[in-house]
Amino acid sequence: MTKRAVLALADGTTFEGRAFGASGETVGEVVFNTSMYGYQEILTDPSYVGQIVTMTYPEMGNIGANAGDEEAGLPHAVGMVVRSLTKTPSNWRSQETLDAYLARHGRVGIEGVDTRRLVRHLRTHGAQTGIISTENVSAAALSERARAAVSMEGLDLATGVSCKEPYLFTTPTPDVFLATGDKQPEPELKYDVIAYDYGLKRSMLQYLVDVGCRVTVVPSHFTAEQVLAKKPHGVFLANGPGDPAAVKGADRTVAALLGKVPVFGICLGHQIMALALGGRTYKMKFGHRGGNQPVKDLTTGKVEITAQNHGFAVDDASLKGKAVVTHINLNDGTVEGLAVPDARAFSVQYHPEASPGPHDARYLFSRFATLMAGS
């Protein structure tokens, strides 16, 4: 028997639907993602810690779930909102249904929601805290509890999801079409890279290995002195959740590394690099989440269609004279890329590894390798 579920927003707006995944309640910032596919990569992206993800594409669950598509060992999104959930997946890699996958990991979902109405509401009024509940609780009471929940602004979530100890990563991107019994070629690992784990995705590490990097992943609190003692060829600043200005000591650590070793930052790593340069960040109204964000490279004039997932952005005015803005978002003009040539450092707000999304920007991993080769 299908169980009723309710999504209640902090401003009192409510949506009724049917429960899937685990039973119970979950509270988080309600956001939306415009990707048409890749829901498992989205759910397991650590950047979604503390967030309930609304998928704008109506049909979800049609490819099921499998271990190979995970960006981390478990879903980090605390809830999921969809229009229509497929009960019977049809994909040769499927190992279980999306419903079973979320239930196994204790994540609450709601289907049958008018997601067009919900997304329009979030675009107009902004991302806000909400609660999904399968319990017999009034919508008004749920909204009241959502209003009392902690805001995403000012939260250091990166430290909580970061690894506890350093570890080595040397696995390239898997070839899912490789014939049974065939061995995947291993890239020559020429560069030793330190990767700061602020909530990184597995695919980022794989693409670094693909371009010849032997990656040592370190916790967010790893000091600049500890990094330099390892004499790496480069430092990678990963993505992650929460407010970049709240990540303990990250800006000071990166500031101490700039100019001493090549640096490449993505998403939260991009924002932390901006803070290290003396810039500022701010909370966006509803952020950028999806695989269809147009970004213009100001150095070439070319436009890339990019994958993005962020609710904070860099204030361009705060970086005048400190960094070069290399990329902008063509939808709203926000900063999408920075470069500090004298410090051999660059960063992008978007996700060149995609997962899911277009592959337009994957060349940036090779650019990082070239930068290290010339250092």
Torsions phi, psi for 305 (to 5 deg): -95, 125
268 is in an annotated binding site: yes
Among the listed residues 29, 41, 111, 267, the single catalytic one is 267
Q: Please write down the HEC assignment for all residues of 212-255.
A: CEEEEEECCCCCHHHHHHCCCCEEEECCCCCCHHHCCCHHHHHH
With 0-12 CB in 10 A as exposed, 13-18 as middle and 19+ as buried, what is 69? Answer: buried
DSSP H or E stretch at residue 284: strand 281-297
236 is in an annotated binding site: no
| Contact between residue 257 and residue 263 where contact means Cβ atoms under 8 Å apart | yes
Any catalytic annotation for residue 153?
A: no
184 is in an annotated binding site: no
Among the listed residues 121, 233, 288, 351, the single catalytic one is 351
**Would you tell me how many other CB atoms lie within 10 Å of the CB of residue 326?**
18
Can you tell me the distance from the alpha carbon of 267 to that of 209, in angstroms, rounded to the nearest whole number?
A: 19
Strand partners for 25: 133
Angle between helix axes 363-373 and 202-210 (nearest 10 degrees) is 50
Q: Which amino acid is at 167?
A: Y
311 is in an annotated binding site: yes
Q: Which amino acid is at 305?
A: I
Any catalytic annotation for residue 105?
A: no
Question: What is the number of alpha carbons within 13 Å of residue 39 lying toward its C-beta?
Answer: 28
- Residue 87 DSSP label: S
240 is in an annotated binding site: yes
Any catalytic annotation for residue 163?
A: no
312 is in an annotated binding site: yes
Q: Please write down the HEC assignment for all residues of 127-195.
A: CEEEEEECCCCCHHHHHHHHHHCCCCCCCCCHHHHCCCCCEEECCCCCCCCCCCCCCCCCCCCCEEEEE
Can you tell me the distance from the alpha carbon of 157 to that of 116, in angstroms, rounded to the nearest whole number?
A: 29
> Cis omega before residue 244 (within 30°)?
no
- Residues at the binding site for L-glutamine are 47, 240, 242, 268, 271, 309, 311-312
Which residues are documented as binding site?
A: 47, 240, 242, 268, 271, 309, 311-312
Active site residues: 267, 351, 353
